[in-house]
Amino acid sequence: MKHISTLLFAFIIVTAVHAQKPRPDAFPPVPDSLAPKVVNMATTLDEMASWDRYPTYEVYVDMMQRFANDYPTLCHLDTIGTSVQNRLILSLSITGTGDTSGRPEFFYTSTMHGDEVTGFYLMLRLCDTLLRSYGTSADITNLLNRVRVYINPLSNPDGTYHGGNHTVASSIRYNANYVDLNRNYPDPFGTDPLDPLQKENEVMINYVQNHHFLLSANLHGGSEVMNYPWDSYTSYQQLNEHANWWKEVSKRFVDTCRLYDNRRFRDVTSNGYINGGDWYVIHNGRQDYFNYYCDVREITMELSTSKTLSTDRLQHYWNCQSHALINFIKEIFTIPNATENITPAIATHYNVYPNPTRGPITVTTPTHAYHYNLSDRPAGVYVIPVEGRAVKVVKY
């Protein structure tokens, strides 16, 4: 019964906040300038060379494969999974040469809202810059020798290429089933998503659960603000235990961008960062799921007031944000005790899959595999004791 009353309470809160303060992320964007929007597409790899276009889907996939082909000692290409319409959800894993064991894992993932394509572009360019700069830039060489960076530039390809593989001009927020992927994660605080778990999110959950990311950023657009957990609660209702650390990290990111353009990150708060729920409470978002269930410190970065940024503005946004994006990877070393815990954490790491599940659950530890079945149990959150640790599992 407690569960039901919590649900009702959450529903009332959400309804009330919706009426008062619409989240800009969910509404048509404010134009970044009054100039007409231009969306130029690169239809060949060569046309991406000057970084003033968005790639077609084919060029995007070719770029990711070319990174892996051109820098085989620095990176490899993973397929996280496929979308509803069978487009690829790709991740490039990049780290420096030498002994790579024990390097902490960092994750950038962008554009789960298909029309918020600034991050898609920025992440492709970040892949290119990290790979080109290894061995020439001492800063990036040193960084990549200490961290393994995973970059997933596009987590909702069907939304981005809704108008066809040749253009992002007709992109939409939703996936091919018209589901908002950032309202579709199991909620750690007890609200079930309206729709079944979508394929894009299911493969992402499996990917994250099979890695050990310490720090992650999920890139969006439509506003400019660093949105840290929780999204399900205001800071007054439930403060995230790392809130002070998130504020410091966010301030460094925003201040670095403002060194280039002091107008940036001002449309939501003057300091450029906010506790997610203080801006707008959402449930079933990705951020709370990963922070709560996956031991990942994940932040939502809203990086451009325009969702589908005019291509003549791309260079400016890269100039403004590239240093902050690179420096944010280094924040992995500001997580208290992070470096001390890396080796033991990996040594005792266990995987839980599939999670969420419709029934069967496998928990693997370095030495054992345990199998459970929740098929005859009602939907909800279960805690399974495994080798002295509490494993949280979602049945849906």
- Minimal distance, residue 343 CB to Zn ion, in Å: 36
Toward Zn ion, which CB reaches closer, 87 or 173? 173
Integer Rg of the chain from CA: 20
Q: Tell me whether residue 308 or residue 355 sits nearer to Zn ion (CB atom).
A: 308
First-residue to last-residue Cα distance in the chain: 18
Listed residue (123, 323, 328, 299) closest to 218, CA to CA:
299
**Rounded to 5 degrees, what angle do the CA atoms 104, 108, 113 make?**
155
Q: Are 371 and 361 in contact (CB under 8 A)?
A: yes
Give the nearest distance from C-beta 62 to Zn ion in angstroms.
26
* Between 116 and 158, CB nearer to Zn ion: 116
138 CB-contact burial (10 Å; exposed 0-12 / middle 13-18 / buried 19+): exposed
Backbone phi, then psi, for 245, in 5-degree steps? -65, -45
173 vs 211, beta carbon nearer Zn ion: 173
Contacts to Zn ion from residues 16-75, by CB under 5 A: 25
- String marking each residue 234-253 x if it binds Zn ion according to CB under 5 A: --------------------
The answer to whether the CB of 291 falls within 8 A of the CB of 189 is no
- The CB-of-29 to Zn ion minimum distance in angstroms stands at 10
* CB 214 to Zn ion: min, Å: 23
Tell the smallest beta-carbon distance from residue 38 to Zn ion (Å).
22
Q: Cα–Cα distance between 86 and 354 in angstroms, integer?
A: 20
Binding test (CB under 5 A) with Zn ion, winner from 220, 286, 297, 395: 220
Q: CB of 387 within 8 A of CB of 365? A: yes
Give the shortest CB-220-to-Zn ion separation in angstroms: 3
x/- letters, 110..139, toward Zn ion (CB under 5 A): ---x--x-----------------------
Select 96 or 277, whichever has its Cβ closest to Zn ion: 277
| Secondary structure letter of residue 357 according to DSSP | B
Stretch that binds Zn ion, among 46-54, 71-79, 105-113, 331-339 (CB under 5 A): 105-113
What residues line the site for Zn ion (CB under 5 A)?
25, 113, 116, 220
